[in-house]
A = this chain, B = another copy of it.
Amino acid sequence: MPTFTCPLPLPTRERILLAHGGGGRLTNQLLEEIFLPAFANTALEARHDGALLSVGGARLAMTTDSYVVQPLVFPGGTIGDLAVNGTVNDLAMCGARPMALSAGFILEEGLAMDTLRQVVFSMRDAAMMAHVPIVTGDTKVVDKGKGDGIFINTSGIGVVVAPGPIGPQSVRAGDVVLVSGDLGAHGIAILSVREGLQFEGPMLSDTACLWPAVEALLSAGIEIHCLRDLTRGGLSSALNEIASAAGLHIMVQEALIPVSAVVRGACELLGLDPLYVANEGRFAVFIAEKDADRALTILRAQSVSAGAVQVGMVHERKSDRSSGIVTLRSRIGGHRVLDMMSGEQLPRIC
């Protein structure tokens, strides 16, 4: 009788590229080929910013992010407040009130203690602003040349307060797409330091806690279909993930997308598209068209989303292809497909 053995996969010569961490196509490939098959479970497969869990009778959201931004201190923030705001925002994007954060530090031997102090104190300030305690932590030190100053992981748990499911599965044709403010400030602030660029005005990161904006929408009874913060890969990658998961067509209008003159100028100079540049205090929200005006009024009353505008709408796919698509109507009236970022535009932006 023949025996059947399950052969181990042959060794490959594939290696990790910077773009595997960029939030675009290669990150998705890594997720689909390695992480999802290994860790298969319903919470992970939802592929949202956080996982929804029922624990001890409570409806919880849980999320994690590691921060590797360079430089550690940049105009408008540090790796520390970024690590607090980014994880708090992932909870907010689940419709969950942030309740507690953990902080895991990987320090490089030789790091100046004063740099650590500055980063830790900016974490403290961001946590106080967000009203979220840092309840547990861990510190590891790696040999000089095996790290890069400071890496921080923050994980968070929150209590889900949104009544309905928030995610791509709730997006419907006819929904409007709002964004909470002008795009690209974080990415350009980081790049300005790296490249030694000077601007006429101050070019600060938009890093901020988004929960007050989400809470205001929920408190007013706005039925939120989907939320997504516009981090790695920017607006384009976020919309592509949602369109793809929902199997719908998202159409945005270039003329409606808010980009400041400074960011637009810097992007032209550097050959970047602001729709792919990372933000750390901006999000997109999908709601029914009937709620659009009221939602915009509510968002504009919160300082973190004072610049909220409608940028597009959701449509059925015209063809019978089930996959989603994002298109951009340009200022001169043409249409083009807005693809997911395939490479790494700005490595280590968060």
| Chain A interface residues toward B at CB < 8 A | 9, 11-12, 14-22, 27, 30-31, 34-35, 38-39, 41, 43-44, 50-51, 53, 55-60, 62-68, 99-100, 102-114, 116-117, 120-121, 123-124, 127, 133-143, 145-148, 151, 153, 155, 157, 159, 347-348
B60 A17 Cβ-Cβ under 8 A:
no
Contacts A53-B99, A100-B51, A147-B148 known; A138 to B16 CB distance under 8 Å?
no
A55 B58 Cβ-Cβ under 8 A:
yes
Contacts A60-B56, A146-B147 known; A34 to B66 CB distance under 8 Å?
no
CB-CB under 8 A from A107, the residues of chain B are 16, 20-21
Contacts A138-B66, A155-B155 known; A143 to B18 CB distance under 8 Å?
yes
Q: How far is the CA of A286 from the CA of B67 in the complex (A)?
A: 38
Q: How far is the CA of A138 from the CA of B22 in the complex (A)?
A: 11
Contacts A55-B60, A64-B103, A109-B17 known; A44 to B136 CB distance under 8 Å?
yes
A63 B102 Cβ-Cβ under 8 A:
yes
The 7 closest A-B pairs by CB, nearest first: A56-B58, A21-B141, A155-B155, A64-B102, A153-B153, A51-B135, A14-B113
Q: How far is the CA of A117 from the CA of B21 in the complex (A)?
A: 16
Q: How far is the CA of A60 from the CA of B59 in the complex (A)?
A: 12
Q: How far is the CA of A121 from the CA of B37 in the complex (A)?
A: 9
Q: How far is the CA of A22 from the CA of B19 in the complex (A)?
A: 33
Copies of this chain present in the complex amount to: 2
Contacts A100-B51, A106-B151, A133-B43 known; A159 to B347 CB distance under 8 Å?
no
A104 B155 Cβ-Cβ under 8 A:
yes
B34 A68 Cβ-Cβ under 8 A:
no
Q: How far is the CA of A143 from the CA of B69 in the complex (A)?
A: 11
- Within the complex, what minimum Cβ distance (angstroms) separates A55 from chain B? 5
Find A113's partner among B16, B120, B135 (CB 8 Å cutoff).
Answer: B16
B110 A44 Cβ-Cβ under 8 A:
no
Q: A51-B136, A106-B151 are in contact. List 11 more A-B contacts (CB 8 A).
A: A11-B114, A14-B112, A16-B141, A35-B137, A44-B134, A51-B102, A55-B58, A55-B159, A66-B104, A68-B142, A104-B155
Q: How far is the CA of A108 from the CA of B62 in the complex (A)?
A: 26
Most buried by B among A109, A110, A348: A109
A-B contact pairs, 6 of them (CB 8 A): A16-B110, A30-B139, A142-B148, A142-B151, A151-B151, A153-B153
CB-CB under 8 A from A35, the residues of chain B are 120, 137, 139
CB-CB under 8 A from A155, the residues of chain B are 62, 64, 102, 104, 153, 155
A17 B62 Cβ-Cβ under 8 A:
no
